[in-house]
Amino acid sequence: MPNDNLSNLIISLQNEFKDFKGGLLGLKKEFKDFKGDLSNLKDEFKDFKGELSNLKDEFKDFKGDLSNIQNDFKGFKDDLDYFRGDLSEFKDEFHEFRNETNKNFNEVYSKLDNHTAAIMSLENTVGFYGDMYKMNKDKIDNHEKRISFLESK
Protein backbone atom coordinates (compact mmCIF):
# COMPACT_ATOMS: atom_id res chain seq x y z
CA MET A 1 0.00 0.00 0.00
CA PRO A 2 2.60 2.45 0.75
CA ASN A 3 4.02 1.60 -2.62
CA ASP A 4 0.66 2.24 -4.24
CA ASN A 5 0.47 5.67 -2.72
CA LEU A 6 3.94 6.38 -3.79
CA SER A 7 3.23 5.09 -7.30
CA ASN A 8 0.10 7.19 -7.52
CA LEU A 9 2.02 10.18 -6.32
CA ILE A 10 4.76 9.62 -8.88
CA ILE A 11 2.17 9.15 -11.67
CA SER A 12 0.38 12.28 -10.59
CA LEU A 13 3.68 14.19 -10.51
CA GLN A 14 4.54 12.87 -13.96
CA ASN A 15 1.18 14.08 -15.30
CA GLU A 16 1.71 17.47 -13.77
CA PHE A 17 5.22 17.64 -15.18
CA LYS A 18 3.84 16.73 -18.63
CA ASP A 19 1.42 19.61 -18.34
CA PHE A 20 4.22 21.81 -17.06
CA LYS A 21 6.48 20.63 -19.89
CA GLY A 22 3.71 21.44 -22.40
CA GLY A 23 3.33 24.87 -20.81
CA LEU A 24 7.07 25.37 -21.01
CA LEU A 25 7.09 24.37 -24.70
CA GLY A 26 4.29 26.90 -25.37
CA LEU A 27 6.18 29.50 -23.41
CA LYS A 28 9.36 28.63 -25.36
CA LYS A 29 7.43 29.14 -28.63
CA GLU A 30 6.09 32.46 -27.39
CA PHE A 31 9.61 33.55 -26.39
CA LYS A 32 10.84 32.61 -29.90
CA ASP A 33 8.10 34.81 -31.34
CA PHE A 34 9.00 37.54 -28.85
CA LYS A 35 12.67 37.16 -29.80
CA GLY A 36 11.70 37.56 -33.48
CA ASP A 37 9.63 40.63 -32.63
CA LEU A 38 12.58 42.06 -30.68
CA SER A 39 14.88 41.36 -33.63
CA ASN A 40 12.45 43.13 -35.98
CA LEU A 41 12.20 46.00 -33.51
CA LYS A 42 16.00 46.14 -33.33
CA ASP A 43 16.16 46.36 -37.14
CA GLU A 44 13.51 49.08 -37.16
CA PHE A 45 15.46 51.03 -34.53
CA LYS A 46 18.59 50.69 -36.70
CA ASP A 47 16.61 52.12 -39.63
CA PHE A 48 15.23 54.85 -37.36
CA LYS A 49 18.75 55.61 -36.12
CA GLY A 50 19.95 55.90 -39.73
CA GLU A 51 17.07 58.20 -40.63
CA LEU A 52 17.71 60.22 -37.49
CA SER A 53 21.39 60.51 -38.45
CA ASN A 54 20.36 61.69 -41.96
CA LEU A 55 17.97 64.18 -40.40
CA LYS A 56 20.72 65.36 -38.10
CA ASP A 57 23.01 65.93 -41.10
CA GLU A 58 20.24 67.82 -42.91
CA PHE A 59 19.71 70.00 -39.85
CA LYS A 60 23.47 70.69 -39.77
CA ASP A 61 23.24 71.78 -43.42
CA PHE A 62 20.13 73.81 -42.60
CA LYS A 63 21.93 75.39 -39.65
CA GLY A 64 24.84 76.29 -41.93
CA ASP A 65 22.46 77.76 -44.54
CA LEU A 66 20.64 79.66 -41.81
CA SER A 67 23.94 80.98 -40.50
CA ASN A 68 24.88 82.12 -44.03
CA ILE A 69 21.52 83.84 -44.41
CA GLN A 70 21.98 85.48 -41.03
CA ASN A 71 25.43 86.73 -42.07
CA ASP A 72 23.98 88.00 -45.36
CA PHE A 73 21.26 89.88 -43.49
CA LYS A 74 23.87 91.30 -41.13
CA GLY A 75 25.85 92.54 -44.14
CA PHE A 76 22.65 93.90 -45.65
CA LYS A 77 21.83 95.66 -42.37
CA ASP A 78 25.33 97.18 -42.27
CA ASP A 79 24.95 98.36 -45.88
CA LEU A 80 21.51 99.75 -45.07
CA ASP A 81 22.88 101.62 -42.04
CA TYR A 82 25.69 103.01 -44.19
CA PHE A 83 23.15 104.04 -46.85
CA ARG A 84 20.99 105.70 -44.20
CA GLY A 85 24.00 107.70 -43.06
CA ASP A 86 24.75 108.78 -46.62
CA LEU A 87 21.08 109.58 -47.21
CA SER A 88 20.93 111.66 -44.03
CA GLU A 89 24.08 113.52 -45.07
CA PHE A 90 22.63 114.09 -48.56
CA LYS A 91 19.37 115.32 -47.00
CA ASP A 92 21.26 117.83 -44.85
CA GLU A 93 23.30 119.03 -47.83
CA PHE A 94 20.13 119.27 -49.94
CA HIS A 95 18.39 121.39 -47.28
CA GLU A 96 21.44 123.64 -47.08
CA PHE A 97 21.51 123.96 -50.89
CA ARG A 98 17.76 124.66 -50.99
CA ASN A 99 18.09 127.36 -48.32
CA GLU A 100 20.98 128.99 -50.22
CA THR A 101 19.01 128.77 -53.46
CA ASN A 102 15.95 130.35 -51.85
CA LYS A 103 18.13 133.13 -50.47
CA ASN A 104 19.70 133.68 -53.92
CA PHE A 105 16.30 133.66 -55.59
CA ASN A 106 15.01 136.20 -53.07
CA GLU A 107 17.99 138.44 -53.85
CA VAL A 108 17.44 138.02 -57.60
CA TYR A 109 13.72 138.73 -57.25
CA SER A 110 14.48 141.83 -55.19
CA LYS A 111 16.93 143.11 -57.82
CA LEU A 112 14.48 142.20 -60.57
CA ASP A 113 11.76 144.19 -58.84
CA ASN A 114 14.13 147.20 -58.58
CA HIS A 115 15.21 146.85 -62.21
CA THR A 116 11.63 146.38 -63.35
CA ALA A 117 10.66 149.64 -61.70
CA ALA A 118 13.62 151.43 -63.31
CA ILE A 119 12.84 149.95 -66.73
CA MET A 120 9.20 150.91 -66.41
CA SER A 121 10.29 154.46 -65.55
CA LEU A 122 12.58 154.50 -68.59
CA GLU A 123 9.81 153.15 -70.79
CA ASN A 124 7.50 155.88 -69.56
CA THR A 125 10.17 158.54 -70.16
CA VAL A 126 10.99 157.22 -73.65
CA GLY A 127 7.28 156.93 -74.36
CA PHE A 128 6.82 160.53 -73.23
CA TYR A 129 9.68 161.72 -75.48
CA GLY A 130 8.20 159.68 -78.32
CA ASP A 131 4.84 161.30 -77.80
CA MET A 132 6.48 164.73 -77.68
CA TYR A 133 8.35 163.95 -80.88
CA LYS A 134 5.10 162.91 -82.60
CA MET A 135 3.39 166.08 -81.44
CA ASN A 136 6.24 168.30 -82.57
CA LYS A 137 7.09 166.40 -85.78
CA ASP A 138 5.38 168.92 -87.99
CA LYS A 139 7.29 171.75 -86.31
CA ILE A 140 10.57 169.84 -86.58
CA ASP A 141 9.93 169.19 -90.24
CA ASN A 142 9.24 172.87 -90.81
CA HIS A 143 12.47 173.81 -89.01
CA GLU A 144 14.44 171.34 -91.10
CA LYS A 145 12.98 172.80 -94.28
CA ARG A 146 13.92 176.27 -93.14
CA ILE A 147 17.40 175.25 -92.16
CA SER A 148 17.91 173.46 -95.44
CA PHE A 149 16.60 176.45 -97.29
CA LEU A 150 18.87 178.81 -95.38
CA GLU A 151 21.89 176.57 -95.77
CA SER A 152 21.31 176.33 -99.46
CA LYS A 153 21.47 180.18 -99.80
Q: What is the pLDDT of residue 147?
A: 87
Q: What is the pLDDT of residues 102-116, one digit of tens each?
A: 998 888 888 888 888
Q: What is the pLDDT of residues 32-59, one digit of tens each?
A: 888 888 888 888 888 888 888 888 888 8
Which amino acid does the sequence have at 93? E
pTM, whole model, 2 decimals? 0.38
